Structure 1
Amino acid sequence: MMRPSVAFSIDERFRKVSYAELRQVTNDFSPSNLIGQGSYGFVYRGMLDGNQPVAVKVLNLKRKGAFKSFLAECEALRNIRHRNLVNIITVCSSIDFTGAEFKALVYDLMQNGSLEQWLHLGVNQHDMPKLNLNQRLDIAIDVASAIEYLHHHCQTSIVHGDLKPSNVLLDHDMVAQVCDFGLARFLHGSTNLDVSQCQASSSNLKGTIGYVAPEYGLGGTSSLQGDVYSFGILLLEMFTGIRPTDVMFKDGWTLHEFVKTTQHKSLVQILEPSLLSMERIDNGQISDADMVRFEESIADIMRIGVLCSMKLPNERMDMMNALSELCAIKDKFLKRGM
C-alpha cells in the first residue's frame, strides 16, 4: 500500500540531505556513533558539512507504527519554535543502497546528553558531577516552559505524549530542550495531517510506563492533562532521584503517593542524597534560618510535582500555573542567595 507523503515542503524550509550523506557523516551508521535508541529507531552522532554536530534519528520502518511516528514528528516540528524544544535541521525521506525505504530526522546535537543520563547513568558512563539544586530547578523550568508553550501558545494546542527524562536533552550551557514528538497530537487536528490518528495507531499505551497518565491505561485519549501528569512525575524524579518504575512501587504504591505521604514529615529525607551534601545539609554547615528556607523551597517544588501528578485529570495543576510557581521559587532562591 502506498504510504502518504510527508506533509510539508522540505525543499523550501530545510537544506537537502541524502541517504548517502547521512551514511557518510555517521561513518556508515557506526555503532561507535550510536548515542541513543528509542521505540522506533536509533540516534547517531554525526558532523554535517564538516563542522556542524548533529544527531541523526534513523527510523526502523520494520517496527509497527514507526512511519506514522515519523509523520507525527515532522508535522509537530514544522509548527513549533522555542528555545526549550529541540531544533530540527532537516529531514531525509529516501531509499538506502539496498533499495529499502529510508527515513531520518536530523537535529542539533545536544552536547550534554539527556537528563536521564545525568540523573541515573552518568554521561558517557563516566563519573559525572551530580546536578545541584539550582541546576535541577532551571531544567524543570525549561521543561515546563516547553510544555506550556505547546499547550497554550501554539496556533493549535499540541500534546507531547511522551515526556520523560530521556526525552529531555541538555545543550552545552545545560539548557534543557524537549525532544521526540513521535507521539505528538494536535488537539483539534491539522489541515495537513491528522496527527491524532498517527498517534493512536502507533502505540496502544500512548506513552511510557511510569510516566503515562492513569487514564490512558483505561482508554482515555491524549490530553494536556496527560502531559501535566508526566511532568509532575518527572519533577518528583528529578528531586528524589527515584524512578517511577522503581521496584518499591507496586500494588498501587507510586512515586506520587510516596512523596505525597512524606509531605506530612520531612521531605528532606527523600531528596536525592547528593543534594543534601551540595547544600551542606548532611553535615550541619547550614544555619537554622537557611535550613528552614531550604525546606520551604523543597516543599514548594514537591507540592507542584504532586499537584501535577494527581490521579484525576481535573485535579491537576495546569502548565501555566506550574511554570509560574516554579519561576517564583527560583526568584526566592536568587533573592536569598541560595
Structure 2
Amino acid sequence: MLRKALLKVSYERLLKATDGFSPTHLIGIGSFGYVYKGILDQDGTVVAIKVLNLQRQGASKSFMAEWKALRNIRHRNLVKVLTSCSSIDFQGIDFKAIVYEFMANGSLEKWLHQVQEAEEKQFKIQSLTLLQRVSIAIDVASALNYLHHHCQEQILHCDLKPSNVLLNNDMTAHVGDFGLARYLPEISNPNQSSSIGVKGTIGYTPPEYGLGSEVSTNGDVYSFGILLLEMMTRKKPTDLIFKGDLNLHNYARTSLPDHVMDIVDPLLVSEEEAATNQRIRQTSYNCRKECLISTVRIGVACSLVSPQNRMDITQVVHELQSVKKIRLQFQPTTGFNMQRGLGDS
C-alpha cells in the first residue's frame, strides 16, 4: 500500500517533507547529492530522500543506474527504494530525487568512527560488539551474494564502503547507494566493458580497476574484504599509518594468526565476558579470539591482490555464519538481543 501511495511524489511534496530541504534535515552527503530525512504529509511516513546535485558530472547517470538497480530487486539486506521524482523545481530547474525507506540507526561509517570522535570529546557512546559486527558483515555479504548469484541480471555494486551500509532499528544492515552499479550483461558490450568511469572510492576500489581491468564480482568481494577488515580494526584503508607497501590488507595479513589481538579494535579486545567463573571467562575469551582470527582471515582472503584467488561471496556467507555460531555460545543474554547482538539501550 505504501509503495502505491508513493508512486507519484512531487517536488512540492518532498520540499514540504524536508522543511524546504533544510540543513537540519540533512543526514548524509554523497558523491552526487544530498540525503535528507523527510516526513511525508499524508501519512507521516519517515523516509530518506536523496536529492541529486545535477551540476555534478555523472549525477543523472547515477540517478538512472540506482533507480534501475533498486526498483526491481528485493532483498532484506538491500535498501528499499520507494519511489523517485524527476521534475522541475519552482525556479524551473531540473530536479531529481530518490525516496528510500528510512534507516533509523544511520550508516556503519558512523558507528565505526564516531566512537573515535566521542573519545576525543571525552564522552562515551555505544560501540558495536563483536557479535553485532559479525551479524552486519553477514547481512552485507548476503546482499552481495543475492546481487551476484540470484538476480535475473547479475548486478555489481562497485562502491561498497561503510557509508553505503545503513542500519535499521534492530541493526539489520542494508546495502545502499547503487549510483555506480553495473550489470554483467552490459559488460559484454565493448563500449562498456572496462572499468574506466567506475571511480569507486579510494581504498575500497580493487587494484585491478586502476589497471583498466573489467569490473567483476571479484571487485565487489575485494571491497567487502576491506570493509570487513575496517570493521574489525576500526582503521580506514586511508589511515595515515598506511604508507608505502603497508596497506590495510597487509597490516591484517601479517598479524595472522598470533598477533591478531594486537591489530583489532581495542574495544573488541576489552569486551567484557558475562561469566563470573574464571575458567568460563577464559574459555569465552579464547572463543572471542578464535572468532576474531577467523573473521580477519576472511577479510584477508577477500582482499587478495589477485581477483581469481579471492574467496567466493557464497563461501564468505557460510564462514561468517559459522563464526557467529561460535560467538553466540558465549554471548551474554541479559538485556541483549541474541539474534542481532543489539543492546536494549
Does TM, scored on the shorter chain, surpass 0.5? yes
**TM-score relative to the length of structure 2:** 0.87
**TM-score relative to the length of structure 1:** 0.88
> CA offset at residue 292 of structure 1?
2.5
Distance between the aligned counterparts of 2:58 and 2:257, measured in 1?
Answer: 44
What letter corresponds to residue 223 of structure 1 in structure 2? S
Between stretches 210-219 and 41-50, larger displacement belongs to 41-50
Residues 1:69 and 2:62 aligned together = yes
What letter corresponds to residue 269 of structure 1 in structure 2? D
Residue in 1 that maps onto 2:240: 247
Distance between the aligned counterparts of 2:254 and 2:188, measured in 1?
Answer: 39
> CA offset at residue 97 of structure 1?
0.6
What letter corresponds to residue 161 of structure 1 in structure 2? C
Deviation track 1:107-139 (CA, whole Å, cap 9, x = no partner) reads 011000000000002599785300011111110
Distance between the aligned counterparts of 2:224 and 2:287, measured in 1?
Answer: 25
Residues 1:150 and 2:147 aligned together = yes
Distance between the aligned counterparts of 2:200 and 2:172, measured in 1?
Answer: 24
What letter corresponds to residue 151 of structure 1 in structure 2? H
Q: What are the ranges of 5 or more consecutive residues in structure 2 without an aligned counterpart?
A: 333-345
Distance between the aligned counterparts of 1:141 and 1:203, measured in 2?
Answer: 30
Residue 103 to residue 168, structure 1, CA distance change in 2 (3 Å) = same
Residue in 2 that maps onto 1:184: 181
Distance between the aligned counterparts of 1:272 and 1:128, measured in 2?
Answer: 15
Query: In the alignment, which of 256, 274, 291 is matched to residue 263 of structure 1?
Result: 256
Q: Report SS of the residue matched to 2:178.
A: coil
Residue in 2 that maps onto 1:54: 47
RMSD of aligned alpha carbons = 2.7
Between stretches 98-107 and 118-127, larger displacement belongs to 118-127
Distance between the aligned counterparts of 1:22 and 1:124, measured in 2?
Answer: 32
Q: What are the ranges of 5 or more consecutive residues in structure 1 without an aligned counterpart?
A: 1-10
Query: In the alignment, which of 294, 297, 309 is matched to residue 303 of structure 1?
Result: 297
Deviation track 1:205-242 (CA, whole Å, cap 9, x = no partner) reads 53100100000111122210000000000000001111
> CA offset at residue 251 of structure 1?
1.2
Residues 1:19 and 2:5 aligned together = no
Alignment of 1:167-182 (within 5 A): 167-182=164-179
Query: Matched residues, percent identical?
Result: 52
Q: Is the 8 A contact 2:194 2:212 kept in 1?
A: no
Residue 202 to residue 260, structure 1, CA distance change in 2 (3 Å) = closer
Residue in 1 that maps onto 2:324: 330
Residues 1:230 and 2:220 aligned together = no
Residue 47 to residue 122, structure 1, CA distance change in 2 (3 Å) = farther
Deviation track 1:135-163 (CA, whole Å, cap 9, x = no partner) reads 11110111111111100110111000100
> CA offset at residue 290 of structure 1?
2.6
What letter corresponds to residue 324 of structure 2 in structure 1? K
Q: How many residues align?
A: 322
Residue in 1 that maps onto 2:339: none
Distance between the aligned counterparts of 2:238 and 2:188, measured in 1?
Answer: 29
Between stretches 48-57 and 272-281, larger displacement belongs to 272-281
